Structure 1
Amino acid sequence: MKKLVLFIGLLGLSPIFAQETEIDITPDNSWLKAGLTAGIPVGDASDVSSFNLGVDLRGQYLFNPNLAIGVASGYSHYFAKENFEDFGMIPVAGFLRYYFTPNGLFFGSDLGYSFLTNVENNDGGLYLNPQIGYHNRDWNIYAFYQNIFAENDVDLQSVGVGVTYNIRFK
């Protein structure tokens, strides 16, 4: 079922990528975002972990002043509670963001697959990461709710904050 939801989600994004348009990448419409995240596990993850820290890496293309697409990855390390082991997750996702103004509020979401590290009998699963935040030309500060619908009916969820710096392509 989870793979079907991922397949349908990717089909929904395919018209965005299938258009035959000439893309001119400039420092005004494309950049790399690099930053840090911190979160508190909720749901199943809160049973075994009390805190998570991560790095966030993104490549973004701005279609117009309001709509952006891109690819996202990174790593989040979950610090285990007593009698459990630390584990991590590595997402590979596409994302969509809507910017209301050149400086100000934005919202968006990542959709993809997340690999789990140091977890027995579970390679990962469907990854969803909606965000709302503030941005300017150089920085993004946001709140997120992250959910991994992993194998064996395990849902790893966390809520937190992140900050990224925009590195312009030249």
Structure 2
Amino acid sequence: MKKIILSVTLMMAVFAAFAQTTREIEDINDDNSWLKLGLNLGVPVGDIGDYSSFAFGFEVAGQFMRTDNFGLGAVSGYTKYFKNSDVAGTQDFGAIPLGLMLRYYPEPSGFFVGTDVGYTFLTGDILSDGGFYIRPQVGYHNYDWNIFAFYNQVFTSDPAADIQTIGVAATYNIRFK
């Protein structure tokens, strides 16, 4: 997992280094910044897959295009992990991420890669209150929509409570005016 985190971080740094023109935060307008609202659906994997059968949530993010190809922003939301009905004593629980969003868009429309990194707060009957998370993703985007696949992992203080999810998500872009 450390290799994945290092690789994604290095990839983002290289993309940012090759950027031609950068924008300052004062330059926010409807051409380079937007609010993303969306839904996600996931399947818990690893140990948590024994206790939760699927996850469903919403997400919200504010994105600023620092260059024509590199976007950054803040992301949050809520994902509910539904209990596995085959295992007695399990309960639903929730995850509230608060993180930094990094995206690389090679073209104005087409495929993109990115990651979210930050801290996830866990709610409900689970062994941990939260932990560092990373969510690499690859997908398709256009002016209005982003559709992507992701892997999400929350690293808790108790490795037995780490949460790993594979899923898909779609977000709609609302332009800042």
Shift of 1:64: 1.6
The residue number in structure 2 matching 1:124 is 130
Counterparts of 1:149 and 1:41 in 2: how far apart (Å)?
14
Counterparts of 1:24 and 1:33 in 2: how far apart (Å)?
19
Q: Which runs of 5+ in 2 are unaligned?
A: 17-23
The residue number in structure 2 matching 1:57 is 60
RMSD: 2.0
Counterparts of 2:107 and 2:125 in 1: how far apart (Å)?
42
1:86 corresponds, among 84, 88, 92, to 92
Q: TM-score, normalised by structure 2?
A: 0.83
The within-5 A match list for 1:18-167 is 21=24, 23-82=26-85, 83=88, 84-153=90-159, 154-167=161-174
Retained in 2: the 8 A contact 1:123–1:151? no
SS in 2 for 1:23: helix
Q: TM-score, normalised by structure 1?
A: 0.86
The residue number in structure 1 matching 2:20 is none
Runs of 4+ off more than 6 Å: none
Relative to its length, the structure with more strand (as a share) is: 1
Indicate the percent of aligned positions where both proteins have the same amino acid.
Answer: 50
Shift of 1:121: 4.3
SS in 1 for 2:170: strand
Q: Which runs of 5+ in 1 are unaligned?
A: none
Shift of 1:119: 2.9
Cα pair distance change 1:46/1:120, threshold 3 Å: closer
